[in-house]
Structure 1
């Protein structure tokens, strides 16, 4: 019985051990040294760790008393009246600490408190620090590197791999006629293979591999608990790493986050052991809010170095349970470093953590000065995941020593100090620490003002006589005017470029913004139909909704862009109101509303094909005007069917310039680097990945509109099967399969489109949707190609009429329809219509000079070669 009882007891113990979750044990450091510099006694810090005084320490050289001074810090800041900041060791000449340690990686943490020590003013302290023949700091000023006067103490953390010598030599070298100082030194061992994973382990470096050598020294710049709160060193997993919240670095958007979930149990793995990061890192995260289209952070870093980025991921949301539920891309410094990131695919399930490393290079500015490093996460929609979202739980950024075995960089510029009525003098970065988001808003306003100045400088329109080859899109005269300050946006607005309406006039025009006057709603707010000039003139009045994500930026951009632009195919801005916090824009009234309202999901009758095509031609002319008719390109950035309006004569006009940007200024500037903005389904994927905006981004969006017009469906329908969700991708897929005509085209257009016109139209749309912007046509070519498609349509209709008359005259009845092989069937596009335009020597010359394929080439050859608009041979359409 005793035997069976013991067996039962042991089985019970085993069962209990394997089924009851336990907190993973922390890492046990094999080397752990805390040195309180300048102190002669042992002390305990706020985390209950014991520090040894370095007076007569075994780590200091025998002549320490003559080479250095142990000094007490003055009590200026209560926030730093803790060990090790209460004392300092000041060095008058070169001084070396020697620490015997075991081989392997070690954290070295240097603690600085720039203060007045006896007669030593640390504002005059400049020195260098080296470790085992690596330069950590050079001409370093702790005063200039201090976070702020109100919180001056700081720590610098380095990671070194100790090899055969089994010791760390830490040397302080004061500059001539200066001195060096240090408050505390910490050395703690690190698990093997945690950061130094082996000289033969590949790390992704954009589209190639990088090998982090064991003889590299790393400096930790950022360690963030993304979406969570600060994690103190005693709560780390044995290496006393501090993890900070990421709020100070979030950039340019509205972000959601998942707070700590108490019921989540993190399941560490051999690939991601418990000491990789604390559980709190993996049980909090930041994800995209419903109103954002990416996750963005901005980090100041030193130029001229490689950087190791460690991303920590763990899926803990209840909705994300399977592969392809959430897939995203990672971009660092506007370069895509990874695509198709699917955490569950990597880990095999939820609540399983993982980290991924990436290397990037930040070019030198000539002095290793500061640059902003942008980190971006975008949804990757190519596999049609269930959710368009991205995720990050934690982040570590390390700077890597360069070829000269150095991590040294330039000191920051002295901070300008401004008066704060509440707390006295504050430097600018202290304000950043207090609240990053208000600073982002202020920065955005400053950016808007800069944009206004740039726009007013750049929009000097070309003068000269009318060129007969550009007919309808010649720009009208440039309108100049003064500015006046109003009380709404708090910025100077043009008073002579468009009319400044009073708020009372706006209320009178809309019956005090009565809901019965609402004719549309958008991201900016409600659009009302109103009447001005004593009821004689109908106008569209767009009023900013205070809860809208748009605001002063879009308001000012719209005014300063559109008030200077005058074209038949651009909506005219008549004026604005900027009073009592209201921001209102007044436009010419467009009687037939938006293009989308006449394509689908509307009670309006659907437009016939030729009218749709004419509208596309008009919209293309409006965009061409934006791209070419000013000194510098204007990029619309939000081209879509709801931003193409139709007046009482069905003339198409491009509208809504709130997101518009002045394009590159020429020379080496080929794009504008900017946060991604626009509308899902229309966004240029290249701009989406790289955050590099060009006029070809508008071309891509217009290509989506072309298919939207042809297919009469929204660009995104989430409820459809995966391959049909995205209109642009589905159209390209159907083209490859040769099923486009049968599966995707609006059934109401059956028998309306001449096959040759349809072929040219689809060719145009597909070229607009090319993945690479450089392979897309210019809007001038798009205009020309669409006008050619219209000529093909009209020629086919005329031919049909002539054939019908011949048939009827010969005694045959119904109207015959000519047969014309479509482009996606791979047959040659060679019928009589090609010879219709081949007689023009000017056309032949243009075709040859443009590098277009000859008319005798097959359509499939043209598409495969990448040539654009090979059949545009008649310049009369322009």
Structure 2
């Protein structure tokens, strides 16, 4: 009787617990000995062992406590962990509806768990959330700071069964672990809004995306733009964390101070959409910048939801057409002429806009791609201010049709530490064998690492850095061993050579088991460039010198007297490769203009966008590289010089003359005084290379034609420029565009640097030339000639003062010896251009 009563009591207790836990939120401190309270927000976390209905009857797991901790990490839920040695499923009763599902991981030492053996996958019902994941490694494959706690957040819908099954599956010979699981209900239609909510697809006109209950979301970024971190306790009851955007913003902007004002929420933007502090802080454009810009690494091959939050709260922005801007994501237009007041229908009323973005996967490997977000003033409606604003941003990855959100962490990316126990060594051999069956390339990489390790006396460490001393920086780029480079290039096989230069051969190489294609520049003993140029290149590019139109160094190797630089592979080679002496198809005119604009932006960033002015000193068409999307990137900083602090007038740098014949500034050559206008001269030569498709120096031509710069300038003043323009461009260039382009190139080649435009002027004028070309294309008029406008016989440039084409009635040009400024009618108004908008911190070039 007593036993029966006890059983009945336990059953009733279990039912009560189950019913209680069906109500959200559900907080599990996994592996904890008892229910505890979180010091950070006061919520009670229940241990998973208290409720056996959560766990399978014959589960194989270990409860453990972190043997090391950091004061910045809360005890709950991070200090206890449940460790799984085999597949394990939590069966959790929850209410029907859309949920936040959050996992908490603390990569710290635990009993019987080795960081090199912790790889696992996680599913929730039919959604794949994580694959071959390790909390001990970053997405790039480097070890994390052991004190860095991780929080992974997902949004999923639970149907009427009210059951959520979360399965942890260790990878072969690995362990899975989790510190905490949190499930919180959210209001209907917050993120999963079904077919009633059309989400504009960026880059596809009149095509919309719909997020329904069959879609899961993974939160990647939730940012309080222009403000500080907003902890979960200050959210709207859903315990979201809003991080600062400092890590992702590029260029220059103002962080508007937090204003303690009342926000008027609406039915379209309810109070739970985002906390008030998100809408009362923001970023706006600084006077010396032209746009607001951010860069985000995203997995290729997925759709993403970008949610942008806006609210005008400042007194000067109370009505429409005061601040109007364009929004682009991934270099594609998302919205034009966006006016916050118009969309929110009032002052201090918040609004958000959703955009669906697809990140292309050109190589099918779902590798990381840097995706930009840019807000640029749109002046077509003549708003009062040339400005833009953003208050908050959320980015979610959307599951594919198979319910997959995960990109596996390739286990062979990570070099494993040497183990002490024989059992562990045996396990490691099994892992290598299994990996070898899956991919022969992985075996060769591991064997190459082991050989290198033996040759270096077992001191190679992780394989990415050399423990021996080196005077070169290694904190911002990877320090390769020579064995890694040889493995990537087939021991410098000649069939991998893709270029030659003064430094030496350039090889195509493959890292990370062939998943990352790189360009490997190796010095040869007879190279004219030596240790100084090698060190300069590394010091320039391993610093925080990052821009979309500059190459970025992946790493270097100075092992065994080698001097090797490793960059990301540039699929379309150099600009010169695409212009002449090539089998490639001729570049269209507008693509050539885009390339010039990109290269000019990179150089302008060097001159004005860094703490110190940087003079490239070797601008030429072979140092402008083109990636697979034809984005121009300035390369080769071995000859670069650092001038004075940015923003302070630079007189000159006294230095020996170096550069490439045909591109060297004559003033610099005569006076041996280098300024940023020396780069401007060289860029002018490149501009004529682009227009004429011929080298800067052609020794086989007549004496008057050998030097392109001199010949082009003479042709301009004599009015016979048509003789030197690439015939492949016939009929492609509008007279207005050609006039502006050649006028600019001519000014770049002025004898005195003070008479040349700045790189900022060059970017603006090239953007204007492109706008003129696009306006002409939109009008659909046929170009009857590409030197003179229809019915005109006036030359492009005359001796003395230059004059505009007679047919250009819309454009009024103002010229001084030191500057070029342009004003236009409304129909041809010059838009503000992006100069610092593409600063970035990519993994590679």
- TM-score interval (norm. to shorter): 0.5 to 0.7
Change (3 A) 1:363 1:654: farther
Is 1:84 paired with 2:77?
yes
- What is the SS of the residue equivalent to 1:165? coil
Q: Deviations over 1:546-570 (max 9, x none)?
A: 3439999x999x9969x6349xxxx
CA distance in 2 between partners of 1:150 and 1:455 (Å): 42
| Residue number among 45, 64, 81 corresponding to 1:51 in the alignment | 45
CA distance in 2 between partners of 1:647 and 1:128 (Å): 60
Which residue of 2 is the match for residue 244 of structure 1? 243
Which residue of 1 is the match for residue 322 of structure 2? 325
Change (3 A) 1:163 1:309: same
Which residue of 1 is the match for residue 216 of structure 2? 217
Which residue of 2 is the match for residue 548 of structure 1? 647
Q: Is the 8 A contact 1:417 1:428 kept in 2?
A: no
Which residue of 1 is the match for residue 396 of structure 2? 398
Structure 1 residue 57: Cα displacement: 2.2
Within 5 A, what are the aligned runs for 1:666-685? 678-679=763-764, 683-684=767-768
Q: Is the 8 A contact 1:367 1:409 kept in 2?
A: no
CA distance in 1 between partners of 2:669 and 2:743 (Å): 24
Q: Is the 8 A contact 1:188 1:239 kept in 2?
A: yes
CA distance in 2 between partners of 1:679 and 1:180 (Å): 55
Within 5 A, what are the aligned runs for 1:698-847? 698=769, 700=770, 703=772, 769-770=775-776, 781-785=785-789, 789-790=793-794
Which residue of 1 is the match for residue 669 of structure 2? 575
Which residue of 2 is the match for residue 101 of structure 1? 94
Alignment length, in residue pairs? 555
Q: Is the 8 A contact 2:738 2:786 kept in 1?
A: no
RMSD: 5.2
TM-score normalised by length of structure 1: 0.54
CA distance in 1 between partners of 2:219 and 2:337 (Å): 28
- What is the SS of the residue equivalent to 1:679? helix
CA distance in 1 between partners of 2:676 and 2:170 (Å): 58
| Residue number among 159, 171, 174 corresponding to 1:175 in the alignment | 171
Change (3 A) 1:559 1:388: farther
Q: Deviations over 1:595-638 (max 9, x none)?
A: xxxxxxxxxxxxxxxxxxx9798697799589989xxxxx9999
Q: Deviations over 1:49-105 (max 9, x none)?
A: 2211112424522436x4111011111544335211111101122211122111111
Is 1:163 paired with 2:159?
yes
Which residue of 2 is the match for residue 299 of structure 1? 296
- What is the SS of the residue equivalent to 1:98? strand
- What is the SS of the residue equivalent to 1:55? helix
CA distance in 1 between partners of 2:48 and 2:717 (Å): 78
Which residue of 2 is the match for residue 439 of structure 1? 544
CA distance in 2 between partners of 1:441 and 1:637 (Å): 33
CA distance in 2 between partners of 1:655 and 1:623 (Å): 23
Which structure is richer in relative contact order (CA contacts within 8 A, separation 6 or more)?
2
Structure 1 residue 284: Cα displacement: 0.6
Within 5 A, what are the aligned runs for 1:412-423? 413-414=413-414, 416=464
CA distance in 1 between partners of 2:672 and 2:578 (Å): 23
Structure 1 residue 124: Cα displacement: 1.1
Which residue of 1 is the match for residue 823 of structure 2? none
- What is the SS of the residue equivalent to 2:238? coil
Structure 1 residue 184: Cα displacement: 0.6
Which residue of 1 is the match for residue 431 of structure 2? none
Q: Deviations over 1:217-257 (max 9, x none)?
A: 10000000001110011001100000011111112x21122
CA distance in 1 between partners of 2:47 and 2:171 (Å): 26
Structure 1 residue 443: Cα displacement: 8.6
Q: Is the 8 A contact 2:615 2:679 kept in 1?
A: no
Structure 1 residue 366: Cα displacement: 1.7
Change (3 A) 1:287 1:132: same
CA distance in 2 between partners of 1:620 and 1:386 (Å): 42
Is 1:188 paired with 2:184?
yes
| Residue number among 269, 276, 279 corresponding to 1:279 in the alignment | 276
CA distance in 2 between partners of 1:642 and 1:148 (Å): 50
- What is the SS of the residue equivalent to 1:770? helix
Q: Deviations over 1:707-732 (max 9, x none)?
A: xxxxxxxxxxxxxxxxxxxxxxxxxx
- What is the SS of the residue equivalent to 2:187? coil
Q: Deviations over 1:798-825 (max 9, x none)?
A: xxxxxxxxxxxxxxxxxxxxxxxx999x
Change (3 A) 1:646 1:198: closer
Q: Deviations over 1:348-388 (max 9, x none)?
A: 22111011111011122422221111111111222121112
| Structure 2: unaligned runs, 5 residues or longer | 1-21, 415-461, 479-540, 554-564, 583-611, 622-641, 682-714, 731-736, 799-806, 810-845
Change (3 A) 1:188 1:637: farther
CA distance in 2 between partners of 1:585 and 1:67 (Å): 70
Q: Is the 8 A contact 1:250 1:298 kept in 2?
A: yes
Which residue of 1 is the match for residue 63 of structure 2? 70
- What is the SS of the residue equivalent to 2:314? coil
Structure 1 residue 426: Cα displacement: 6.6
Q: Deviations over 1:109-161 (max 9, x none)?
A: 01112233212113212221111111111222222237832543201100011
Instruction: Select the structure of larger CA radius of gyration.
Output: 1
Q: Is the 8 A contact 2:154 2:219 kept in 1?
A: yes
Q: Deviations over 1:25-47 (max 9, x none)?
A: xxxx9610111111121222222
Q: Deviations over 1:167-188 (max 9, x none)?
A: 2111111123222111110100
Is 1:313 paired with 2:279?
no
- What is the SS of the residue equivalent to 2:54? coil
Change (3 A) 1:338 1:236: same
Q: Deviations over 1:734-783 (max 9, x none)?
A: xxxxxxxxxxxxxxxxxxxxxxxxxxxxxxxxx6633669x7989x9432
- What is the SS of the residue equivalent to 1:769? helix
CA distance in 2 between partners of 1:578 and 1:32 (Å): 72
Q: Is the 8 A contact 1:43 1:51 kept in 2?
A: yes
- What is the SS of the residue equivalent to 2:247? helix
| Structure 1: unaligned runs, 5 residues or longer | 1-28, 430-435, 464-487, 498-542, 589-613, 630-634, 661-676, 685-697, 704-766, 795-821, 825-878
CA distance in 2 between partners of 1:777 and 1:334 (Å): 29
Which is worse superposed, 362-371 or 87-96? Answer: 362-371
CA distance in 2 between partners of 1:626 and 1:297 (Å): 40
CA distance in 2 between partners of 1:495 and 1:358 (Å): 39
Which residue of 2 is the match for residue 4 of structure 1? none
Within 5 A, what are the aligned runs for 1:600-679? 624=725, 645=747, 655-656=756-757, 658=759, 678-679=763-764
Which residue of 2 is the match for residue 664 of structure 1? none
Is 1:139 paired with 2:132?
yes
Q: Is the 8 A contact 1:559 1:573 kept in 2?
A: no
Change (3 A) 1:288 1:131: same
Which residue of 2 is the match for residue 110 of structure 1? 103
CA distance in 1 between partners of 2:343 and 2:620 (Å): 59
Q: Is the 8 A contact 1:576 1:586 kept in 2?
A: no
Which residue of 2 is the match for residue 687 of structure 1? none
CA distance in 2 between partners of 1:585 and 1:83 (Å): 60
Q: Is the 8 A contact 1:574 1:586 kept in 2?
A: no
Q: Is the 8 A contact 1:223 1:395 kept in 2?
A: yes
Structure 1 residue 784: Cα displacement: 4.8
Which residue of 1 is the match for residue 601 of structure 2? none
| Residue number among 359, 376, 399 corresponding to 1:362 in the alignment | 359
- What is the SS of the residue equivalent to 1:201? strand
CA distance in 2 between partners of 1:389 and 1:248 (Å): 22
CA distance in 1 between partners of 2:758 and 2:791 (Å): 26
Q: Is the 8 A contact 1:323 1:344 kept in 2?
A: yes
Which residue of 2 is the match for residue 835 of structure 1? none
TM-score normalised by length of structure 2: 0.56
